[in-house]
Chain A
Amino acid sequence: MAGKIATRGAYGKALVELAEKYPKLMVLDADLSKATMTKDFAAAYPERFFDCGIAENNMVGIAAGMAACGLKPFTNTFAIFAAGRCYEQVRNSIAYPHLNAVIVGSHGGISVGEDGATHQCTEDLALMRELPGMVVLNPCDGNEMRLAVEALMEYEGPAYLRLGRPAVETFTDELEHYSFQLGKGVTIAEGSDLTIVATGMMVNMARKARELLSAEGISVRVLDIHTIKPLDEELILKAARETGAIVTSEEASVIGGLGGAVAELLAENCPVPVIRHGVNDTFGRSGKAGDVLEYYGLTPEVLSEKCRKALAMKK
């Protein structure tokens, strides 16, 4: 695959590619199909596409009704509306009855860029992770996204899938031993001094941080946690035991998301130093995506600093 594609772009392609194989797939949107990239599905399968207008709460409820009737609805809007505005609809109409529906949050995190804080959702991973029985996915590149969408087609139950706005490098298709399985993390690179547990676009930044630290003689393991819930506890505990320090990295709040999940797991099972890298309890702001990421320290350089700190704590 190589090259660059936004995970939302890969998602839109996957919907179209999988439509024939999965006839129960229905796609709902809330007047954002050009941004959420469901527009190609809408053009190819108009009888299976439902634009609910700017009424996200109702869209989630319609999906609940469809799922209760045996269809497989995917609702589409920005993450801030999917997980934020619709939190209680997702909780009571989808998660509580454990319905087979996928809540898709596009434009997750701060890399939304120019639209600014009202549209930059850093809380979605924490909000959705809190819901009993919810699967929470945050793929790192176009290849992983395609595999995640197909896995969700085969899965029965409520799920949240986060998409990103900017184009990101596709690399997982070129990794040896890469395979995708819901609920299973991927060891992207081996290492022995500490482990970066990353999700979404931060996985590739973790690879770059690993290179920076390698030049200093530090051996870093990198785990790709595309499924934040159910968390691959075995893989993370093994990394904690073998490397003795963990840095989590996510384009989301450090409160409650991947960092929260990993800290909870390790505190109860294998207490080692844990540093959480992400957005530090603050709202986003407008700017070009790259500038915003840099402003909030979501860079390989800052991630490397967090790693050095974790290493120091280990000693």
Chain B
Amino acid sequence: MEKLYGNDLAVMAYKARLLAVEAVHRAASGHPGGSLSCADALTTLYFNEMNVDPERPNWEDRDRFVLSKGHCAPALYAVLALRGYFPVEELQMLRSIKAHLSGHPDMKYVPGVDMSTGSLGQGLSAAVGMALSAKIQGKRYRTYAICGDGEIAEGQIWEALMSAAKWDLDNLCVFIDVNGLQIDGATKDVMPTEPLDKKLEAFNWHVIKIDGHDFAQILAALSEARRTKGKPSVILMSTVKGKGVSFMENQAGWHGKAPNADEFAIAKAELEAKIKELEEN
């Protein structure tokens, strides 16, 4: 596959958004808010950065990805389907008893999912184990993960952060999706995490701060992470929860709520208009 850049990445990311929101709508449950905020990073990973092969989802030298904020499975599944791991039509079976696209990523049944996640705080540890495995086995694959900014209140995240620095895991790159919102409200009110950059630097990570909806910045950050030796990299990306659907943007209430038929019609129209606008660029 040819790597995608710039506008082509944006088009793909909006297609993934539309598929994810449609899947949540059909399932009448799921997590649209955070799926929309991390869609640009996910799309960049699978359509530019990561060395993967949808024909060989278990290829042992592939780059690994762990969605530590596993509730954003709709976005991950959408990106995987668009990338060719399974038919796009299957997305509409999200959360159905008749299919294997469970509410949270399941490595046993969904091609392309490298780690089962969903219980917040656990995915990053698995990503550390994967990066460590590459070092042990002398392999060159890299490991990526996305954590939520609410998720990092989990103590295990900080255990994992310490251990990645202990073992100099420069083959590990973690995004933190700083959309500022979680189920109960603003992250700064629920459990303040700032100053995140200073905390992560103090934990011996290389910290990169970007706008998580600017593809040039995402690509530059990934490149900087690859060039950073001797320590793991974390990309603090400022994002908008619900990005791309006007009534969902910056609304904690859309963390884990499915749009009804009328709401989905609006979301679909907005996302399709955005895709059309981008494709005409």
Q: How far is the CB of A294 from chain B (nearest CB, A)?
A: 39
| Residue pair A65, B115 in contact (C-beta under 8 Å) | yes
User: Do most interface residues of chain B lie in helix, strand or loop, or is the interface mixed?
Assistant: helix
Residues of A within 8 A of B60 (CB): 69-70
> Please, what's the 1-or-0 string for A30-59, where 1 marks a CB less than 8 Å from any CB in chain B?
000000000000000001101011010111
Q: With an 8 A cutoff between CB atoms, is B162 at the interface?
A: yes
A interface size (C-beta, 8 A): 30
Give complex CA distance A69, B130 in Å: 6
User: Which A residue sits closest to B130, measured CB to CB?
Assistant: A65
| Residue pair A93, B125 in contact (C-beta under 8 Å) | yes
B interface size (C-beta, 8 A): 36
Give complex CA distance A61, B160 in Å: 9
Q: With an 8 A cutoff between CB atoms, is B132 at the interface?
A: yes
Report which residue of B130, B137, B159 has the largest number of chain A beta carbons within 10 angstroms of its beta carbon. B159
Q: With an 8 A cutoff between CB atoms, is A66 at the interface?
A: yes
Q: With an 8 A cutoff between CB atoms, is B133 at the interface?
A: yes
Query: Contacting A58 at CB < 8 Å: which of B116, B131, B159?
Result: B159
Q: With an 8 A cutoff between CB atoms, is A60 at the interface?
A: yes
Give complex CA distance A152, B116 in Å: 23
> Please, what's the 1-or-0 string for B105-125, where 1 marks a CB less than 8 Å from any CB in chain A?
011100000111011011111
Query: Contacting B136 at CB < 8 Å: which of A55, A71, A93?
Result: A71
Residues of B within 8 A of A65 (CB): 66, 115, 125-133, 143
Task: Tell whether A48 pairs with B125 under 8 Å between CB atoms, given A96-B116, A97-B115.
Answer: no
Q: With an 8 A cutoff between CB atoms, is A276 at the interface?
A: no
Among residues 81 to 117 in chain B, which have CB atoms less than 8 Å away from a CB atom of chain A?
Answer: 106-108, 114-116
| Residue pair B119, A64 in contact (C-beta under 8 Å) | no
User: Which B residue sits closest to A88, measured CB to CB?
Assistant: B119
| Residue pair A68, B129 in contact (C-beta under 8 Å) | yes
Q: How far is the CB of B142 from chain A (nearest CB, A)?
A: 13
Besides A47-B136, A57-B159, A61-B126, 12 other A-B contacts (C-beta < 8 A): A48-B136, A52-B163, A61-B156, A62-B125, A62-B163, A64-B122, A65-B126, A66-B132, A67-B129, A69-B137, A89-B119, A93-B116
- Which residues on A are within 8 Å of B, measured CB to CB? 26, 47-48, 50, 52-53, 55, 57-71, 73, 88-89, 92-93, 96-98
Can you list 25 contacts pairing A with B, beta carbon distance less than 8 Å?
A: A50-B132, A53-B159, A53-B166, A55-B162, A59-B125, A61-B125, A61-B128, A61-B129, A62-B125, A62-B160, A64-B115, A64-B122, A65-B143, A66-B132, A66-B133, A68-B64, A69-B64, A69-B134, A70-B137, A73-B129, A89-B122, A89-B125, A92-B119, A93-B126, A97-B115
